[in-house]
Structure 1
Amino acid sequence: MIWLVLAVVVAILIWYTLDKPLKYWSNRGVKQSKPWFILGDSWVNLLRTKSFCGYIEWMYNMHPNSRYSGIYQFHTPTLVIRDPELIKQITVKDFDHFTDHRNFVDPESDPLWGKNLFSLKGQRWREMRATLTGSFTSSKMKAMFSLMDAAADTFVKYYWDKGDEKMELELKDTYTRYTSDVIATIAFGLEVDSLTQPENTFYLMGRKITNFSGFVTSLKFFGYFMIPSLFKKFKISMLDKGASNFFRSVISETIKVREDQGIVRPDMINVLLEVRKGIKQEDNSDIIDTGFATVEESSDITKFRQLKSLTNDDITSQALIFFFAGFDAISTAMCFASYELAANKDVQDRLREEIKQTYDENNGKLTYEALLKMKYMDMVVCELQRKWPQGALLDRVCTRQYTIEAERPDESPLTIPVGQLLWIPVFGIHRDPSYYPDPEKFVPERFSDENKAKIKPYTYIPFGLGPRNCIGSRFALLETKVLLFKMLLNFEISLSDKMPVPLRLSKGLNISVDGGFWFNIKRISS
């Protein structure tokens, strides 16, 4: 009899500990998924049944008639927000209730990651954002443009000088070398050529610190979700420590040389050193902005005081977050751009004509102003960010208790406690046919002067929303446009026989395709 009682007690404890949490949303009257025991909805990722983007679409379309629904990351209940007006309310109007991102990595274990703008929380984030806001304005991008332009020229010249009329290339690795060189020169003050020096230390360390694939890394992610206190106790780091120390050393040495020798260079380090000296960063309102997809800085940020000082680690942390954004995200965006241009030759031809016209009108060179006045270029890049947003998912953490009021007959007021995680499924919203007819088609005309005014507000969000939007949107858009200009001016891009059509997205956490991005590039003799 005693064993029977013990068995019942154990069963109840297992149910209470492992199964009851998976009814969190249904008990609150919120439509939810059908989570698996222990795994919640993370079984989709663990078993690799869908790509990451497919997973986002899946949860977005789970309850198409609801403003929000519930899912589970293992046992962590997550509220998925899909209604544009509610997204606006949470990210803009009532932002002070949702100021933070989820940061499951312990800042003490990964101090460089913990100090970057994405990871910072509360008042420290506000002060850092206010400190950095003037560093990424359109005028600062104009100053950095010459460095991007030079890196793009070096990139194109390397393949032009090979002398091959037509080349077959895997462009993810190829574009990553360009983005690595741009980050090296702009964020770290180094001159690197990763094509002629493929094994250079900067590139190899960049690959190492941005590599989140493999069994060990997956185990770390799993551990931080399931037993975060244990991982924090033993200070288990997500970033490669050797690579972290390398970048910390590079920044410290560069800063010392510049301060000792009075070197001034139009790059991010110079901007951050000016901030450290108390030099106010201002924008010039007469400078053209980087396009329709650019997000504007919230006026509320200027109300907060700037940090009185930036340490070398602070500067390294900000440079590293741009490495993460620039090294992988922009190279991946360029791969998808190449795919769409190769698969839609009419779009490629029309964009090349605009490029040639701009090139000729500017006496055979590219200027910042000329590039950003190109309307069709901006339409193509906006549609690229619509169909293949690199920020496919946004997250917010509730920092002050909040209530979503009922608006529909099947809703009741929903109280969101402090610490509650919210997701905004950007990829699903961008592929919703009620907002973008034939969403699988690549149609730059969606963003013509006539049509972009018809886009429903808060359904186009490639760089986030509200005060916590992406501070580097101008940087990403400018870098993408510069390389597109130089590539299409010199080469025609077509699909290799190795490239599957339509694309098959990899079933993992990275946004990529099975087998790589294979293309043929052909020199344009004229």
Structure 2
Amino acid sequence: MYYIFVLPLCIISLWLYLKWLSMKNYWKKLGVPHEPIHPLFGSMSFLQKKNPGTWMMELYQKYKSSPYVGIWIFWRRGLVINDPDLSRKILVKDADIFRNRLLASGKSDPMGALNLFTVDDPLWTSLRRRLTSVFTGSKLRGWQELYQSKVEDLIYRINSDNEKGIINELRPLFADYATDIIGESSFGIQCQSTRNSTGPLRLMTKEFEKYSQWRGMAWSSIFFLPEMVDILRFSFWPKNTVSYFRKVFKVMVEERGGFEKDIDGKRDLLDALLKLKIDAKKENQDMDLDILISNAMIFLQGGYDTSSTALTYTVYELAYHPKYQKILYDELVEAEKALNGKPFDAESLAKLPYLDAVIKESLRKYPIMGWLDRKALRDYQVDENLTIPANTVVYVNAMGLHYDPKYFPNPEEFRPDRFLPENANNIVPYSYLPFGEGPRMCIGKRIGMNTVRYALAAVVLNFEILPLDKFPLPNDIPIEKKGLFYHPAVPLSVEFKRRK
């Protein structure tokens, strides 16, 4: 009886040991620099202890003399790319080989599994092609009044809170504003979060911001071990928000006339999603409603989260760099005078070189996602020394490149002049990747940049931004460990001193 239990245990232990030896020696045999590996976690034992962006930066600094580093994503082969030229090959030149990602949710979580961020081909290509029309230049110009209205609400909110002696936390403040922008531009929902931090969509985005130990484990599985999602019934979003958004989405669809009304799909994201369903029906195809809801949710999260985080870091850096803040303020004053009383629009803001440089430098120091994951569809020759087998996961190390002094001297310093037009030739192509590159680059880049430009211009024109005691210096901001995006782990606040 004793041997019935001991023998299988010995066999399993031996198999695990031999598997670990194989993994341990794999990259060594290929002559690839590599990290020591844990028998169970591979190279991923850092998860929930430090942010993946922080880990990527440390990995880059440790192996920056090599164009790539071998890792194990649990028991799966992975290669981290530390070279701009190889990044270009993978993201652009050979993008057809790297169309899919490791990142995925499971069958138990259709809301997390069926959106542009997580889905693979062929559904990804179909969705991307159909939804790209939402973010054309002409569409963004049509949202001029919305942006003006929301930045007015933002200035009103800051003034009102100042009068009440309220010190705003930056990320929730800008999350209120960005949620309104996404809610009204993408879904046509009237939102007042910027003024009072309430509303149906803001209730959801507040839930998105909460990272318990369990949700941290869920995201770690979705990003790095998707096989566990169905086993442990993990979900990309908190389940209560999914149920809530289903109800909200149903109301929004009914207000547009349902799926029977023929539309051109060009008005906003909701119209584009409705047209997906209508076109599929005309072609006798079934378009699962979950696909529409999932993509609506990912645009809500992606749009509000990235913009609010970028604004938080940018405003916080300006508080500690009055010289750069003054240059930006002077540029905005001159531009405002040149408009002869007309309000800023997307085109006039995009032409301001220092505004653009400040935002780009903030995104360099604080890329919201510090790595870009792809999966090789077939065997792939990385260079003359290395060929990786199909299904190897490849991570482009954006965070590491952003902090390499070879590309960005004194990378710890906040220096917007790096991105001024006269210095543009100094930026090595593919060393700067805040939005990714290639076919899978961020589809919402233009709306995100507009959202940040409008808010930052309004805030700097109306307030002098000053640091407050008892808050960390920019380079000492602790980064979220449970979540995987590069968010601050502590509240950040500044003083908004009204300009005369």
Q: 1:86 to 1:190 in 2, by over 3 A?
A: same
SS of the aligned residue for 2:72 comes to strand
Cα-to-partner distance string for 1:274-326 (whole Å, 9 max, x where unaligned): 67677xxxxxxxxxxxxxxxxxxxxxxxxxxx998966543332222222212
Matching of residues 39-118 of structure 1 within 5 Å: 39-46=41-48, 48=49, 50-106=50-106, 108-118=107-117
SS of the aligned residue for 1:220 comes to helix
Contact 1:51 1:505 in 2 (8 A): no
User: What is the deviation of 1:33?
Assistant: 0.7
Q: 1:196 to 1:136 in 2, by over 3 A?
A: closer
Cα-to-partner distance string for 1:434-490 (whole Å, 9 max, x where unaligned): 011111111111112221123111111111111111111101111000100111111
| Residue 374 (structure 2) pairs with residue 372 (structure 1) | no
Contact 2:74 2:225 in 1 (8 A): no
Counterpart residue identity of residue 331, structure 1: S
Matching of residues 135-214 of structure 1 within 5 Å: 135-162=134-161, 164=163, 168-208=167-207, 210-211=208-209, 213-214=211-212
SS of the aligned residue for 1:396 comes to strand
Structure 1 partner of 2:270 = 269
Identical-residue share of aligned pairs (%)? 28
User: What is the deviation of 1:101?
Assistant: 1.5
Counterpart residue identity of residue 90, structure 1: I
Choose which of 412, 424, 448 in structure 1 pairs with 2:396: 424
Counterpart residue identity of residue 369, structure 1: E
Q: 1:307 to 1:103 in 2, by over 3 A?
A: farther
Matching of residues 363-512 of structure 1 within 5 Å: 363=341, 365-406=343-384, 412=385, 414-501=386-473, 502-506=475-479, 508=481, 509-512=484-487
Q: 1:323 to 1:435 in 2, by over 3 A?
A: same
Q: 1:472 to 1:510 in 2, by over 3 A?
A: closer
Q: 1:28 to 1:477 in 2, by over 3 A?
A: same
Q: 1:7 to 1:397 in 2, by over 3 A?
A: closer
Contact 1:131 1:275 in 2 (8 A): yes
Q: Distance in 1 between matches of 2:308 and 2:499?
A: 23
Structure 2 partner of 1:125 = 124
Cα-to-partner distance string for 1:57-92 (whole Å, 9 max, x where unaligned): 111122222111112233232100111111111111
Q: 1:357 to 1:228 in 2, by over 3 A?
A: closer
Instruction: Count matched residues.
Output: 487
Q: 1:229 to 1:463 in 2, by over 3 A?
A: closer
Q: Distance in 1 between matches of 2:417 and 2:285?
A: 46
Contact 1:185 1:267 in 2 (8 A): no
Choose which of 25, 28, 31 in structure 2 pairs with 1:29: 31
Contact 1:175 1:331 in 2 (8 A): yes
Q: Distance in 1 between matches of 2:42 and 2:417?
A: 41
Q: Distance in 2 between matches of 1:145 and 1:272?
A: 23
Contact 1:446 1:452 in 2 (8 A): yes
Contact 1:144 1:267 in 2 (8 A): no
TM-score (norm 2): 0.88
Q: 1:18 to 1:224 in 2, by over 3 A?
A: farther
Contact 2:103 2:222 in 1 (8 A): no
SS of the aligned residue for 2:354 comes to helix
Q: Distance in 2 between matches of 1:26 and 1:212?
A: 40
Cα-to-partner distance string for 1:93-141 (whole Å, 9 max, x where unaligned): 11111111223311x3222222211222122211221212222122221
Q: 1:176 to 1:380 in 2, by over 3 A?
A: same
Contact 1:102 1:421 in 2 (8 A): yes
Q: 1:124 to 1:7 in 2, by over 3 A?
A: closer
Q: 1:7 to 1:490 in 2, by over 3 A?
A: closer
Q: Distance in 1 between matches of 2:477 and 2:232?
A: 39
Choose which of 463, 482, 495 in structure 2 pairs with 1:520: 495
Structure 2 partner of 1:326 = 303
TM-score (norm 1): 0.84
Q: 1:494 to 1:40 in 2, by over 3 A?
A: same
Q: Distance in 2 between matches of 1:228 and 1:167?
A: 43
Q: Distance in 2 between matches of 1:143 and 1:10?
A: 63
User: What is the deviation of 1:395?
Assistant: 0.5
SS of the aligned residue for 2:193 comes to coil
Structure 2's unaligned 5+ residue stretches are none
Counterpart residue identity of residue 439, structure 1: P
Q: Distance in 2 between matches of 1:515 and 1:466?
A: 34
Counterpart residue identity of residue 88, structure 1: R
